[in-house]
Amino acid sequence: QVQLVESGGGLVKPGGSLRLSCAASGFTFSDYYMIWIRQAPGKGPEWVSYISDSGKTTFYADSVKGRFTISRDNAANSLYLQMNSLRVEDTAVYYCAREGGTLLPLDFWGQGTLVTVSS
Amino acid sequence: DIQMTQSPSTLSASVGDRVTITCRASQTVSPWLAWYQQKPGKAPKLLIYKASSLESGVPSRFSGSGSGTEFTLTISSLEPDDFATYYCQQYNSYWTFGQGTKVEVK
What pLDDT digit, counting tens, does each position of B88-99 carry? 999 998 999 999
**Bond prior to B31 in cis (omega within 30° of 0):** yes
CA-atom Rg of chain B in angstroms = 13
Whose CA is closest to B91, among A59, A93, A2, A110? A59
**Would you state the pLDDT for residue A100?**
87
Q: Is the dihedral of CA A71, B56, B76, B50 positive or negative?
A: positive
Average pLDDT of A49-58? Answer: 96
| Chain A interface mutation, best of B46, B50, B54, highest count of A Cβ atoms under 10 Å | B46
Residues of B in contact with A100 (CB under 8 A): 46, 49
* pLDDT score at A101: 82
Inter-chain CB proximity A106 and B46 less than 8 Å: yes
Q: Would the CB atoms of B34 and A50 count as touching at under 8 Å? A: no
Provide the Cα torsion B19, B33, A71, A84; round to 10°.
Answer: -60
Closest to B39 (Cα-Cα) out of A109, A26, A88: A109
CB-based contact B100 A110, cutoff 8 Å: no
> What digits encode the pLDDT tens for the residues B78-89?
999 999 999 999
**Which parts of A1-119 are beta strand (E)?**
3-7, 10-12, 18-25, 34-39, 46-51, 58-60, 68-73, 78-83, 92-99, 106-109, 113-117
Q: How confident is the model at residue B26 (pLDDT cuts 50, 70, 90)?
A: very high
C-alpha atoms less than 13 angstroms from C-alpha of B89 in its C-beta half-sphere: 28
Q: Are B73 and B35 in contact (CB under 8 A)?
A: yes
